[in-house]
Chains A and B, each alone.
Chain A
Amino acid sequence: MDENQEAKAEAKVKEAKLSSTSTSTSTSTSTSTPLFVVAASPHVRSRATVSRIMWLVVIALLPALGGSVYFFGLKSLVLVLLCVASAVLFDALAQKAFGRKMTPLDGSAVITGMLLAYNLPPGVPIWMPIVGAAFATVVVKQFFGGLGHNFVNPALAARAFLMVSWPTQMTSLWLKPGGDPLSGLDAVTGATPLSLVRRASEVAPAGVDPAELIRQANSLPLLKKLFLGNVGGCLGETSALLLLIGAIFLIVIRVIDWRIPAAYLGSIIVLALVLPGSQLTPWFHVFAGGVILGAFFMATDYVTVPVTGKGRVIFGIGCGVITMLIRLYGGYPEGCSYAILLMNVATPLIDRLTKPRLFGALPRVKKAA
């Protein structure tokens, strides 16, 4: 259809060219006239391009990379580079195999690689990033048509895939951040802060009162650690501070929509206050685990979230609700990535239900029966 109309337009242009040249021979003294480009308006475009946007997100993710190297050592840099290199490579191979336009360096595969790495425990064996990156780019992204057509976030889907395939490696190979205890609490070893949310009694060592653990988890020193990032967790999720630096940059230059993280974090705060069974403060829920990374960098992935402002607020709230339900009543300590994946799936429905308001829309009048 598109080609068809272009052909028509071209024919029209040709006709115009022909006739204007014929008049020129009879009317004008000059010899030949250059013919100019004919295309539909507008004739100027904004500076924003797909790859510019993607690379800006890559830049915004860099502070957190620095943090993970600082906290977990050079191994995290190796994992990130491995993830990025594999994502770009598999993206390119898939594009080649499917005969698509080759755009492996448009930045989107680099983001996928980085986000995948950020969602892995820093102690994973080095083959896992390669498998994850292949799944993310080939299966989730290119099988569905490439950038713009995947219906779930590639990095998160790959994380879920690794999680069900190798659950032990994905949930136990934590590294101590710079020698600090994994949980951020001196009394507990071998568990990330989020494990405390529901199983304080299980993770509390003999002789330690679970209630005391909860008290410590809600204390200012732990909150500070959660904010700075020297606690156990996935490679790129622990430092709220470094992630927020990048996120604020993206919000200021209007690459990401602030309404999604606002709705996401806002609903977590509200639910932490009102839901029965939550012994921890809203701040703990916001800064522990992957919520900051998820809310600012994955729930804002254009391709897999609603297109309207209203839809994005609904999306953010949905993410917050599912995250808290999983954390408080589900089988996993963390629900962030499943929350976003589930809301990704709900996106077409949300889009359908949240159309922008038409200018001059007539008020709905009931037809007289």
Chain B
Amino acid sequence: MLTFRGGVHPREDKEATEHKSVEVLPLPARVFIPLSQHTGAPSKAVVKKGDPVKTGTLIGEPGGRISSATHASVSGTVADVSDMPHPLTGRRGPTVIIDADGTDTPDEAIKERDYSGFTTEQVVETLRLSGVVGLGGAAFPTYFKLIPPKEKPIDTLLINGCECEPFLTADHRLMLEQPAEVLEGVAIMSRVLGVKNVVIAIEDNKPDAVKTMTEAAAPFSYRVRKLKTKYPQGAEKQLIKACVRREVPSGGLPMDVGCVVQNVGTALAARDALRFNRPLYERVTTVTGPAVREPKNLRVRVGTPVRNLIEFCGGYSIEVGKLIMGGPMMGIAVSTDEVPVLKGTSGVLVLDRAATVFEEHDCIRCGRCIEACPMGLAPQRLNNLIRRGRLEQARAEHVKDCIECGCCAFACPAKIRLVHQFKYAKSELAAMERK
């Protein structure tokens, strides 16, 4: 069985939604679309208060070399372009607020077309202007991964269908319900990269998805590989190691070992962008957790307040402890359900109060964090260094290689907030380097 070293086995908790078809969430009355939903420079607003927009109209153009476009997710009128706190970082940034007119009129530019004659440049430009970003969570602009520098030849495209985060089932449902569409997107990306070796990686807890994708991929030369169910199997570096036995060097990128990794949802978004010229303004997300009455997989418009999703799922069933954008291992806890769904929102997880209290104890040096760390770090030691303020030493012991997957803190019997410490150290070190 293909896998990597380290990792943990949290309870999967996918039963609530893995057999539920994706439902379409009714249109929201108002959407809040931050112009920074992706890694890189935020988009620059091209609309102002009062402008009419249609579904899919460009509202923010790419604002830098690594950036992406942003589009209206409903038709209506721009109510405001104002600085609002970002749902995940809390930093203020421009947000386009659109009042929906309820007609959902698509932009004229959206129509089916034959893209088979598109050049590489045309495909890349389409993806850039369609705002396609990685839908696995990190939201890295997709086009940028498809134009590696010449000195980094790419020979392998990995399509990530692991969905190793507990609770989440959005990618699983996509593979079951739209395998042909996903593969069309895979074909686009493999053509642009010019690679023959395409691997679709799925954890073995989704045998139905493995079967469906294997059947759908039969006419192509793509290989569907079953991976051991282990967290974080879907983390880029661990996925590459498991599938092709290559190690991305410390501080490097997948392209350094000839690989590009794209999520299955991203492949679908790329297909929609090319085939229909439809920009990325909606996504499938899993609304789940013990405090949601009726968990579901939903197709939602970007910018929809999370509260709409919760209400569509029957509301909260018990007192809420945490509301998490993403999965339980790497998701970001937010303080209110008024935050909007972003392009990278793979799930909305609601935990009860009991699940939010962990009493912290002194480290007992059990070594579980070291066993669990998929990056070969010594979290226990790094934590000691950071607590003593020895950030330089923590850097020398590779704290910057931490992928914040949470395995160490998950495994820790003393419930030490290790990831919290490492995020802090990394941001402090980054600030020191900027000076």
Residues of A within 8 A of B (CB): 1-2, 5, 12-13, 15-17, 19-21, 23-24, 27-28, 33-46, 48-50, 52-53, 103, 145-149, 257, 302-303, 305-309, 312, 351, 355-362
Pair A41/B322 contact, Cβ less than 8 Å:
no
The answer to whether B362 and A359 touch across the interface, beta carbons within 8 angstroms, is no
Q: Which one of A21, A41, A48, A360 has the greatest number of beta carbons of chain B within 10 Å?
A: A41
Task: Across the A-B interface, give the 4 residue pairs with the lowest CB-CB distance, nearest first.
Answer: A42-B406, A40-B420, A48-B413, A148-B362
Nearest CB of B to A369, in Å:
24
User: B331's contact among A5, A12, A41, A45, by CB below 8 Å, is which?
Assistant: A41
Distance in Å from the Cβ of B432 to the closest Cβ of chain A?
15
Chain B residues proximal to chain A, CB less than 8 Å: 5, 8, 10-11, 30, 32, 84-85, 90, 92, 97, 166, 237, 241, 247-252, 305, 307, 320-324, 328-339, 349, 351, 353, 355-356, 358, 361-368, 370-371, 373-378, 380-381, 386-387, 389, 397-398, 401, 404, 406, 409-415, 417, 419-421, 423-424
Minimal beta-carbon separation of A166 from chain B (angstroms): 31
B300 to chain A minimum Cβ distance, whole angstroms, is 17
Interface centre among A5, A33, A309, A351, by most B CB within 10 Å?
Answer: A5
Q: Known interface pairs A17-B336, A36-B320, A42-B406. Does A49 touch B377 (Cβ–Cβ under 8 Å)? A: no
In the complex the two chains form, what is the Cα distance from A46 to B166 in whole Å? 13
**Given A41-B331, A48-B411, A257-B367, 9 further pairs, Cβ under 8 A:** A20-B336, A21-B336, A34-B320, A41-B330, A44-B410, A49-B413, A148-B361, A302-B365, A360-B247
Among A19, A46, A351, contact of B85 (Cβ-Cβ < 8 Å): A19
- With the chains together, A39 CA to B420 CA distance in Å? 8
What is the CB-to-nearest-CB distance from A150 to chain B, in angstroms, rounded to a whole number? 10
**B365, A33: Cβ atoms closer than 8 Å:** no
CB A279 to nearest CB in B, in angstroms, measures 38
> Are B413 and A50 closer than 8 Å at their CB atoms?
yes
A36 to B424, CA, bound (A): 22
Q: For residue B106, give the distance in angstroms from its CB to the closest CB of chain A.
A: 25
Residues of B within 8 A of A16 (CB): 85, 90, 334-335
A/B pair count, beta carbons within 8 Å: 205
Q: Which residue of B lies closest to A108 (CB)?
A: B364
**Cβ contact of B355, chosen from A34, A43, A356, cutoff 8 A:** A43
Which A residues lie within 8 Å of B252 (CB)? 360
Residues on A with C-beta less than 8 A from B32 are 23
Whole-angstrom distance from the CB of A55 to the nearest CB of chain B? 12
Q: Is the CB of B376 within 8 A of A357?
A: yes
Minimum CB–CB distance from B87 to chain A (whole Å) comes to 9
Contact (Cβ within 8 A) B338 A42: no
A303 to B380, CA, bound (A): 12
Contact between chains at A23 and B361 (CB < 8 Å): no
Q: How far is the CA of A145 from the CA of B384 in the complex (A)?
A: 15
Instruction: Identify the interface centre among A20, A312, A359: most chain B CB within 10 Å of its CB.
Output: A359
Contacts of A303 in B (CB 8 A): 364-365
- The answer for the CA separation of A188 and B92 in the assembled complex, in Å, is 85
Within the complex, the shortest CB–CB distance from B254 to chain A, in Å, comes to: 11
Given A17-B336, A39-B356, A148-B363, check contact A46 B247 (CB 8 Å): no
Given contacts A148-B363, A359-B375, contact A44 B333 (CB under 8 A): no
Q: List 29 A-B contacts (CB under 8 A).
A: A1-B387, A19-B84, A20-B336, A27-B338, A33-B338, A35-B335, A36-B321, A37-B356, A40-B423, A41-B329, A42-B329, A43-B324, A44-B11, A44-B328, A44-B329, A53-B364, A103-B361, A148-B362, A148-B364, A355-B378, A355-B397, A358-B375, A359-B241, A360-B247, A360-B248, A360-B249, A360-B251, A361-B250, A362-B250
Instruction: Report which of B166, B381, B415 forms a contact with A49, defined as CB distance below 8 A.
Output: B415
